[in-house]
Amino acid sequence: MKAGPRVALVLSVVLVLSMVAPPALAQDDTSIPDDETFTTNSVEVWEESIFTLRHDFDDAPTSVETGDFQAGLGDIGNTSLNRDYLGVRTAGDEITLTYRTDRVQRSEADIAGKDVQLIAARVTGSGEPVTTFSEAVDLISQENANTNATFEIVEDSVSLSDGETSFTHEGSAGHYVYFVVDRDGGTFDVDESGNIEIDSSTPRIIGVEQVTFQRGPPSSVSAPAIAERGDDLSFDIDASNQFSTDDVTHTMLVYDESKFSNVNQGRFVVQITDRSAIDDELNLSEDAELFHEINEVNGVADVDDGIEVNGIDISDGRVSRAVSLGSVVDFVAEDIEGNSPDTKPTGDVRLDASVTADARESSDHDVTVETFGNWTPGTYRYVYVGALESNASAVTTQTGTISIQEEVNSATASVEDGSASAVPEDTSTVSEISFSGLQGDSVNVRQSNERPSIAENDPETDAVRTYLDIDADSGGEDATVNITLNSTLFENPDNAQVFRYNEDSNAFEDLETNVIPEDEDSNTVTLQFETAFSVFAVGENIPDTGTGEDDPDADDDVSSSSGGGGGGGSLSTGFTVSDLDPEDVEVTQGDEITVAATITTDSYLEETQDVAFELDGDTVASQEVTLSSQESTTVEFTGIDTSDLEGEYEHGIVTEDDSETGTLTVTVPADAEDDTAADEPADDEAEADEETEQQEETAATEETEDGTPGFGPLVALVAIIAAALLATRRNRQQ
């Protein structure tokens, strides 16, 4: 390993946590064929073991959604690695690992009912996780095992009932590799000091998984909720609860979540055509090909000298440009002394991403990540990894999202005697925000009409007029805020209400809002409230315009100007569907039909949704619709083919919030039925062939329900690709 600061990440911008564990084993007197195994240092390894043992990171403290990771071993197609999430657990967490034989790619070996061991290996020595296939195998090999790790027998004898079982384990801070051992071939023994030895015969490893346990999350990571593309993103990190020394490496990655997590755009496939090449001397450059939709990474890498992530040297100063994926894979392979596979772009997807890594810093540190002005607006995920230079097992992580927008109305003001007044660049919505009770030197305000991605839902109010992201220091106490807005935003400014986003509950909460009388000359209204700082929404609670019979005091409530209530009434602010045409219709098989409906939004904010035409719940076609200002539009789906339909179906047009459905009846002409009867034998034979083909294809590409399987040396490269800029040296940029 190289010297220098290390980010022993288990999940960093690419969440390198999916990293490299060894494929696992198989043996002789079992039903696993010899040509599916290899032996190294008295341990036998089954090549299918990269698929069988899994831990689900979906609910991990730090969890990141991936795209579509696949592997192909041999010439029968690709199998999903089913790693929908990459993540990090916290020391002391009890985790569950599941073993399933139906996750294998092609092997027909019957190991159901076998008795197995589960061995946990906690990496020692440098404390760094393994980064190559050979390192992973060496971790449990007899020759090097006890210098690389300490071991624990989690379960000594468990039956694979119906080919499945589950294990639970509680880990300490550090990097773990778990091995499932087929007891028929041989077993391991572990003494009280955590040293491992072969107890009998030649152990066969038939499953492998890797999990990193962080010390715990940092005290806080203060991140912007809203930013304009091209802005510098400032992160205030306090990891003093985990680290007390000044040798902390802080790494922050920001990337376009919609690209990396998209099953189409974030697809990576590693193929090894010749299965006989899979052994402890596997040469990726000669034996493997990497197919990828993401063809380049566009952003800035600003990394201090000597920093390593997962044992891979990512330092070489500052890089600023789009980086090809092939050069990144080549660089990574060089630095882990491996061989890069032949990389072949299958798409032209650009991943917008930037990373900053600062070494030898205190636990309380500010990190700045640069963005480009050509980044695609949307939801961007940040991943923070803190680690000690002196102890690669000491890790702290956190993740969240930032709404990167095309234009953001921002303002910065200096704090004097606890007060500040910020005037946005564009005053058409918010003309001024004043503060009292502040500490610190400055206050930053970002105003947008788009809901920040940090919040999953709008506040409970009839209409949201704007959002504000306020970054200021009030010393843990509530500060007083006065927001002056354009009064024409409201139907009645007296009904304005301010909401504060609570990260703990992941919801907006209403604040006691004092509506200061409108300034008629300037068409402004001021809202006053006391709060700690976060993301805020300004809404309007529109009173019922009916008779008021259900609420005799409604008129009195409406006249109040003090706010403070909940979301009252809560009209839908999503996309509603009406006027489905046709609703109930009967057609002849083979006819093409057109279906239309009216889509309406009750929101004043601009929102985009995919509107779909569905048959019996299955999407047939969709189109993107953008609405704002309580407007409506007609969507139309034309050329809907009924050639393959027969009978009665529920059809309709669906949004994320609403749907309207009817009945579609497709009848078959009598002459067509006669022709169908005559052709039935041939059709049955064709259908049987098609069904067999589909079953084979499904077996090659099926994704298991657990949603997390699959890792190994191949996926390590896939993971690192997302963090391409981390792994790009300056000379490759020049």
Q: How far is the CA of 264 from the CAs of 166, 292, 294, 663, in angstroms?
A: 31, 10, 10, 33
Following CA atoms 577, 581, 584, 590 in sequence, which dihedral angle do they give, to the nearest 10 degrees? -120
Model confidence over 334-368: pLDDT tens digits?
444 445 556 677 778 888 888 888 888 999 999 99
Averaged pLDDT score across all residues of the chain:
76
Both structure tokens of 7:
């980010």
Say how many Å lie between the first and final Cα of the chain, rounded: 27
Q: Residue 368: enclosing H or E segment and its boundaries?
A: strand 364-370
For residue 39, the Cα-to-chain-centroid distance in whole angstroms is 37
pLDDT of residue 336: 41
Vertex 202, ends 196 and 207: CA angle to 5°? 75
pLDDT of residue 340: 54
155: Cβ–Cβ under 8 A, 6 or more apart, which residues? 116, 117, 118, 167
* Residue 674 φ/ψ, nearest 5 degrees: -65, -45
Would you say residue 601 has pLDDT above 60?
A: yes
Would you say residue 559 has pLDDT above 50?
A: no
Among the listed residues 316, 300, 289, 393, the one whose alpha carbon sits nearest the alpha carbon of residue 13: 300
Among the listed residues 127, 96, 118, the one whose alpha carbon sits nearest the alpha carbon of residue 10: 127
pLDDT of residue 389: 79
Model confidence over 466-503: pLDDT tens digits?
999 999 888 778 999 999 999 989 999 999 999 999 98
- Whether residue 563 contacts residue 497, with contact meaning beta carbons closer than 8 Å, is answered with yes
Residues shown for the chain:
734
Q: Residue 731: enclosing H or E segment and its boundaries?
A: helix 730-733
Protein fold of 575-657 = Immunoglobulin-like (2.60.40)
DSSP structure string for 109-131: ---TT-EEEEEEEEE-TT-PPP-
690: Cβ–Cβ under 8 A, 6 or more apart, which residues? none
pLDDT band, residue 374 (cuts 50/70/90) = very high
Give the type of residue at 540.
E
Helices (H) and strands (E) in the chain, counts: 11, 48
Vertex 33, ends 27 and 35: CA angle to 5°? 95
Both structure tokens of 718:
């896939």
pLDDT band, residue 459 (cuts 50/70/90) = very high
Give the type of residue at 703.
E
- Residue intervals of the chain classified under CATH 2.60.40.10 are 575-657
Among the listed residues 432, 262, 335, 634, the one whose alpha carbon sits nearest the alpha carbon of residue 327: 335
For residue 109, the Cα-to-chain-centroid distance in whole angstroms is 34
Q: How far is the CA of 259 from the CAs of 294, 351, 377, 671, in angstroms?
A: 8, 6, 12, 50
pLDDT band, residue 261 (cuts 50/70/90) = confident
pTM of the model: 0.69
* Residue 333 φ/ψ, nearest 5 degrees: -60, -40
pLDDT of residue 157: 94
- Residue intervals of the chain classified under CATH 2.60.220 are 409-547
The three-state secondary structure class of 47 is coil
State the average pLDDT over residues 430-458: 90
DSSP structure string for 336-365: TT--PPEEEEEEEEEEEEEEEEEEEE-SEE
Q: What is the 3-state secondary structure (H, E, C) of 392-447?
A: EEEEEEEEEEEEEECCCEEEEEECECCEEEECCCCCCCEEEEEEECCEEEEEEEEE
The Cα–Cα gap between 278 and 683 comes to 42
Taking the CA atoms of 561, 563, 569 and 571 in sequence, report the sign of the dihedral they define. Answer: positive
State the average pLDDT over residues 147-161: 90
Model confidence over 622-640: pLDDT tens digits?
998 988 777 889 999 998 9
Model confidence over 502-546: pLDDT tens digits?
988 889 999 999 999 776 777 899 999 999 899 999 999 988 765
SS3 of the chain: helix, strand, coil, percent, to 5: 15, 50, 40
CATH class of the domain defined by 409-547: mainly beta
The Cα–Cα gap between 226 and 113 comes to 54
